[in-house]
Amino acid sequence: MVSVALPRTIFDESHDAFRDVVRQFVAREVVPHREEWDAAHRVDRSLFRKAAETGLLGVTAPERFGGGGVDDFRFHAIVTEEFARVGATAESMSIGGENDLIAPYFIAFGTDEQNERWLAPMLAGEKVGAIALTEPGTGSDLAALTTTARPDGDEFVVSGAKTFISNGLLADFVIAAVRTDPEAGHDGISLLVIDTDTPGFDRNGPLHKVGLDAQDTAELFFTDVRVPRANVLGGEGKGWRHMRHNLPIERMSIAITSMARMRATFEQALAYATERQAFGQRIVDFQANRFYLAELATEIEVTQTFVDRCILDAAEHRLDEVTAAMAKWWTTELHQRVIQRAVQLHGGYGFMREFPVARDYLDSRVATIFGGTTEIMKEIIGRRLAR
C-alpha cells in the first residue's frame, strides 16, 4: 500500500494498545458479517454485547455504571477511526452512536436512577439506545420541532413523529426532544427518555437509503404515549441547551469518520493509479492525475492536523460548537472531493460495488447532511462571526 501519511502525535502508548484491540475486534466481529448486515439493513444485536465485552462501549463513562472511567475522548475517536478505516461506516454509527450521541447525555445530565435504568444496561450491551431529534418537517432546524409532551399529573402525554433515527428499529429506549411548553420557545424543549415498549409508540423501517445499508434507520411515531415525568433528562425546559452542549461531539464523530474514510479511499486510489496502465503508462504518470493527487494529499494532511486538534479539544472538554461546525463541514466536503477524484481514477471499476471506493461513494454522501447540513454549519459559524 502506498502511503503519504504524516505521523500523528496526539496518541500515546495506551491509545496505541487500545487501537490494536479495536482493530482486531473489527477484523473478527465486523468485517465477516458486513454483507449479512447489509441485507438485513441493521447490525445484529450481538455486536453491542461483544463490543461491551471487549471494552469498546462507554470508555469515558463512570465505572459505577459499567464504563471505562477514562475521561478521554481520544479512545472513542479511535473506535470511530478503526471502524471507518475498513469501510464499516454503517456499523460505526451503531456503536459510535451509543458512545458519542447517547451516553454523553446520561453522563452529563442523568440522575443515578436514570443511569442505572438506561445507561448501565446500554454499556453492558443488554439494551440499545437511540437519539430522536429530527422530525419530518424540520430537518436540521431543531428549534422548530413539533413533537409535544403535554403535562398530565405525574406524566407527559407525547404525540408526534421523528424520522431518520439511527438504531431506530433495534432501540429499547430513545432520548426524544419534545416540546413540553408550546409557548416558551427554546425554553419549552425538554429531553424525555421513552421506552420503546410503551403503549402508543410505533416505528416504521428500515428506511431504504442510498448507502449505509447496515445502518438501522427508522421513523418513530408517538400516539398519546404516556411517559413518567421522572423520565425527563436534565430538567424540564432545558433540552435546547443540553442539545447545544452535546451536538459538537456528534459533529466531531462525523468529521472523524469522514477523515478516516477519505484517507483509506485516497490510499486505495493512489495504489490503483500506480498499478493500472493506460495508453502505455501508469495512470499516476499523467501530469493531471499527479497534480490532483498532490492537491488532495496536501489537503488531507492539513485537515488531519485540524481534526486532531479538535480531538484534543474534545478530550479536554474545550471543543465549542463553532469549531465542531468548522470541522464537520470542511471534513465532510473534502471527503466528497476525494471520492469524486478516486472514482474517476478507477474509471469504470470505480462504479463497481466490489471496489471499496464505490461503497464509500454511496456511504459518504449523507455526511454533509446529517448532524446538521453544511449550510447549517456555515450559519453557526457566520452567526458567531457576526456577533
- pLDDT single digits (tens) 211-259: 999 999 999 999 999 999 999 999 999 999 999 889 999 999 999 999 9
By the 8 A CB rule, do 354 and 282 touch?
A: no
Q: What is the pLDDT of residues 155-193, one digit of tens each?
A: 999 999 999 999 999 999 999 999 999 988 899 999 999
Give yes or no for residue 299 having a pLDDT over 80.
yes
C-alpha distance from residue 19 to each of 67, 74, 213, 376 (Å): 18, 10, 26, 33
Q: Which of 250, 267, 275, 295 is catalytic?
A: 250
Beta 129-132 vs 281-282: how paired, if at all?
A: unpaired
pLDDT at 144: 83
In this structure, the dihedral spanned by the alpha carbons of residues 48, 51, 52 and 53, taken in order and rounded to 10 degrees, is 120
Please compute Rg for the chain using Cα positions: 21
Is residue 63 among the annotated active site residues?
Answer: no
Q: How far apart are CA 99 and CA 91, in angstroms?
A: 13
By the 8 A CB rule, do 179 and 195 touch?
A: no
Q: How far apart are CA 14 and CA 103, in angstroms?
A: 22
For the chain, give the percent of residues with pLDDT over 70.
98
pLDDT at 4: 57
Average predicted confidence (pLDDT) for the chain: 95
Instruction: Quickly name the fold that domain 240-386 has.
Output: Butyryl-CoA Dehydrogenase, subunit A; domain 3 (1.20.140)
- Contacts of residue 365, defined as CB under 8 A and 6 or more positions apart, other chains included, come to 210, 211, 336
Q: How far apart are CA 365 and CA 358, in angstroms?
A: 11
pLDDT at 138: 78
Give yes or no for residue 140 having a pLDDT over 90.
no
Determine the average pLDDT of the residues in 116-131. Answer: 98
Q: How far apart are CA 161 and CA 230, in angstroms?
A: 22
CATH 2.40.110.10 at 131-237, yes or no: yes
The phi-psi region of residue 10 (left if phi > 0; otherwise alpha if psi is between -120 and 50; otherwise beta) is: alpha
For the chain, give the percent of residues with pLDDT over 90.
93
Domain ranges of the chain: 13-127, 131-237, 240-386
| Residue among 372, 351, 105, 380 at smallest CA distance from 235 | 105
Q: C-alpha cell of 285?
A: 504518470
Q: Which helix (H) or strand (E) holds 226?
A: strand 217-228
Give yes or no for residue 378 having a pLDDT over 50.
yes
* pTM of the predicted protein model: 0.94
Architecture of domain 13-127: Orthogonal Bundle (1.10)
